[in-house]
Amino acid sequence: MSGFPHLLEPLDLGFTQLRNRVLMGSMHTGLEEEKGGFEKLAHFYKERALGGVGLIVTGGIAPNFRGRLAPNACQLSFPWQVGKHKIVTRAVHEGGAKICMQILHAGRYGYHPFSLAPSKVKSPITPFTPSAMSLRQIRGTIKDYATSAELAKRAGYDGVEVMGSEGYLINQFICERVNQRSDDYGGSFANRIRLPLEIVRAIRAKVGPEFIIIFRLSMLDLVDKGSSLEEVIELGKALEQAGVTIINTGIGWHEARIPTIATSVPRGAFAWVTERLKKELSVPLVATNRINTPEIAEQILASGQADMVSMARPFLADPEFVNKAAANQSEAINTCIGCNQACLDHTFSLKRATCLVNPRACYETEINFPKTESPKRLAVMGAGPAGMAFAVYAAERGHKVTLFEARDEVGGQFNLARKIPGKEEFNETIRYFKNRLAHFKVDLRLNTPLNASVLRDEPFDELVVASGVVPRELNLPGFDSPKVVSYQQVLRGEVEVGQRVALIGAGGIGFDLAHFLGEQESSTLEPERWYRQWGIDTSYAERGGLAKQAQAHAPARELYLLQRKKSKLGKGLGKTTGWIHRMVLKQHKVTELRGVSYERFDDQGLHILIDDKPQLLPVDTVVICAGQESNRALLPELEECGLPMHLIGGVDVAAELDAKRAIRQGAELAMRI
């Protein structure tokens, strides 16, 4: 008996059945536009279908040229475009799942000069001003949606999802924020929702009754002049009448300044919104956003907040998610940690999406770990992300792996990252790798620093060095004081930190430390506290679900964050998450200083120069977050042992190291060793 009975319960849609309540949410992978990408996409989806997903929704496909998100984005408007979609639908059906194609018209989010919107109102997140749609263009677009859906049916899809949320075209029509029209498609609410209703009716007329139509309804806009709860309910009811089969939840416009999917968002933080609609509507409703474990998914379904759950990134992290849940092996699930580093950040840089914790995602035909015909005895030095990943994948191939770790726990610097408030999910990656190390019977030796004498005592064929990095030290006058400490000492609780603190270095770790030291609480994931912090009103009294005022918490310390560069602080942070880190520092009232030269530390504080002018920061503690250097102290003696040696992760290159590179390098070496 599975511990997740609600998650695994089939859903009867009348004309068709879904095998369980799991919807794999829409994700643009970048394969859609690559040469030969649909074959790779078919493998990607098939693994998820074989892994147990009930219903897959594809990445957004435009119904016409001007609705594309980017100039080269995928579109389904002509019969000759159907063939490549058949490769995908066939593969998914062979895997036992159903698949719907998402139709997405970007509206003013289109990243090209041909974008259209209800009115000529530029979005704050795109450089292009859209043209206001003429009535002819509106009618043409409705027809294009219907044509696209009909072609999707011909391509073998089980249905379509109409993207009506996240601030895309349909959402732009629904809200006065962008819709300033005075014709039949603007003004009153009835006029503003005319477009989505006509689109759904036109699609239903073209595809007949036995075809799934999902509507992604923006249930909480999280922007000024968004919809009120009453309007969302009214639209939901009208959509039911118009013939939708399922209503999926949309949370927040892309331009909203409230995090909706980042790791610092508490798990299942928006299920309450779907629950509000559940009381009013009768078609199945899908809950979304930061649902990343079978436990939270089951809880949402069992408590009646929704009929299905949508998870997208968790299926990049682990295609076998559902099967593992069904086998009561949730400990073996590779959990999405909500970092966005390899998925959304890649998409926004026009790179193929993948996953920090699973480098195989979207590389299913390129990264594999087949059994080796010549097993080797491999010694691995260091159980950080690079060493753990290598050990697991090499052992999966049949090599005999011994993993040496100097400390009493695996995880390397992830043990520090997980202490940052809002980064608790990093625990899950450590748990996953621990589970896999045991599963593949890796010989794990904790509290065992590897050195030349250990290597001489045991017969190994090759050595993999994954000893990571050491924090950079700064040798300046007064920096030998016990009040000048490293970020590692702070996070490990080895030193006292005063009330006035200067942080030297404003990279990812400097920002994280500022957050850590500015917070009163060690965790920020308590939902009510988090809603207050970001100004979300769960009573939904105001339009968009915004509270009258966000209530940031009083900072725990007076903090200064410093860098030598003159550029804006935090420029190198993740594309989709950097703004959140910057906002948190504003909430903590951190003083940001750039163009700084460091002079000395004494009883008065930290002496610096900015534009050659001396300044004194009256701080009692200085925390050095000035990057790292490769941990190579033992390399010369290891080299003398004469074993073939490979370097991965931080010990290979310390600059711009992140866990994405560390894990990927481990996987790539395991593939070829």
> Which residues are known catalytic residues?
168
By the rule CB under 6 A, 343 interacts with ligand SF4:
yes
What's the min distance (Å) between Cβ of 341 and ligand NAP? 6
By the rule CB under 6 A, 631 interacts with ligand FAD:
yes
Residues 277-336 that bind ligand SF4 (CB under 6 A): 313, 316-317, 336
Q: How far is the C-alpha of 288 from the C-alpha of 275, rounded, in Å?
A: 11
**Residue 79 dihedral angles phi and psi, to the nearest 5°:** -55, -35
Q: How far is the C-alpha of 91 from the C-alpha of 150, rounded, in Å?
A: 20
What's the min distance (Å) between Cβ of 582 and ligand FAD? 15
Return the residue of 70, 132, 233, 406 that touches ligand FAD, per CB under 6 A: 406
Indicate the residue type of 373. E
By the rule CB under 6 A, 663 interacts with ligand SF4:
no
Return the residue of 261, 308, 469, 569 that touches ligand FAD, per CB under 6 A: 469
By the rule CB under 6 A, 417 interacts with ligand SF4:
no
DSSP secondary structure string, 129-193?
PPEEPPHHHHHHHHHHHHHHHHHHHHTT-SEEEEEE-TTSHHHHHHSTTT----STTSSSHHHHT
| Helix runs in 247-293, H state only | 271-278
By the rule CB under 6 A, 573 interacts with ligand SF4:
no
Where does this chain touch ligand NAP (CB under 6 A) — which range of 164-172, 254-262, 636-644, 652-660?
652-660
For residue 42, what are the contacts with CB-CB under 8 A and spacing of at least 6? 87, 88, 90, 91, 92
CA–CA–CA angle 397, 403, 404 (5° rounding)? 165
Distances (CA, A) of 465 to 92, 389, 472, 608, 634: 40, 13, 20, 39, 10
By the rule CB under 6 A, 422 interacts with ligand NAP:
no
Where does this chain touch ligand NAP (CB under 6 A) — which range of 108-116, 145-153, 276-284, 623-631?
623-631
By the rule CB under 6 A, 375 interacts with ligand FAD:
no
Helical (H) or strand (E) element with 629: strand 628-630
Look at the alpha carbons of 390, 395, 401, 405 in this order and tell me if their dihedral is positive or negative: positive
Nearer residue to ligand NAP within complex by CB, 189 or 479: 479
Buried-exposed string 213-240: b where 16+ CB fall within 10 A, e elsewhere: bbbbbbbbbbbeebbbbebbbbbbebbb
564 binds, among ligand SF4, ligand NAP, ligand FAD, none (CB under 5 to 8 A by kind): ligand NAP
For residue 608, what are the contacts with CB-CB under 8 A and spacing of at least 6? 562, 593, 596, 597, 598, 599, 614, 615, 616, 617
By the rule CB under 6 A, 416 interacts with ligand FAD:
yes
Q: How far is the C-alpha of 523 from the C-alpha of 321, rounded, in Å?
A: 27
355 binds, among ligand FAD, ligand SF4, ligand NAP, none (CB under 5 to 8 A by kind): ligand SF4
What's the min distance (Å) between Cβ of 43 and ligand FAD? 26
By the rule CB under 6 A, 660 interacts with ligand FAD:
yes
Where does this chain touch ligand FAD (CB under 6 A) — which range of 144-152, 415-423, 429-437, 560-568?
415-423
Q: How far is the C-alpha of 261 from the C-alpha of 464, rounded, in Å?
A: 36
Nearer residue to ligand SF4 within complex by CB, 343 or 394: 343
By the rule CB under 6 A, 221 interacts with ligand FAD:
no
625 binds, among ligand FAD, ligand NAP, ligand SF4, none (CB under 5 to 8 A by kind): ligand NAP
Relative to beta strand 11-12, strand 17-18 is antiparallel
Q: Which residues bind ligand FAD (CB under 6 A)?
A: 339, 341, 381-387, 404-407, 412-414, 416-417, 420, 449-450, 466-469, 508-509, 512, 631, 634, 649-650, 657-660, 662
Q: Which residues bind ligand NAP (CB under 6 A)?
A: 341, 472, 474, 504-510, 512, 563-565, 572-574, 625-628, 656-658
